[in-house]
Amino acid sequence: MSLSTENCQDGATKLSEVEAEMLSTDLQDWIVSEAYLEKTFRFKNFYETMGFVNAVAWMSNQQDHHPDLDVSYSRCRVRWSTHSANGISRNDFICAARSDTLHKKS
């Protein structure tokens, strides 16, 4: 099963460094730290950027797991973390994979 087809679960716990490293092989170009997953997506113009931002907002609301977004004209930096777990959980990897899928569709 691909991370992008999974759904976030309540009560997610912080992943160990080894678990996070294993899951990171399923993602491309994401920066993995102890506190968050981060990636900057680039676009041709503001319209495409906002289309992606709105799609991420819709998806994250459906998953009840919300990122920090930094938006400008032609880019959007997305940071996933699980505040209740004080770090990265499987939910963050699921939403990162879903963000990649949304970017491919934009």
Burial 5-44 (b: 16+ CB within 10 A, else e): ebebeeebebbeeeebeebbeebeebebeeebbbbebebe
Q: Against a cut of 0.85, is the pTM above it?
A: yes
Name the band, by pLDDT with cuts 50, 70 and 90, for residue 34: confident
Which alpha helices (H) appear in 1-106, and where do they start and end? 17-24, 46-63, 90-105
- Tens of pLDDT, residue by residue over 46-94, are 999 999 999 999 999 999 999 999 999 999 999 999 999 999 999 999 9
Q: The tokens of 49 are what?
A: 């950027």
Domains annotated for the chain, with CATH where assigned, are: 29-105 (3.30.1360.20)
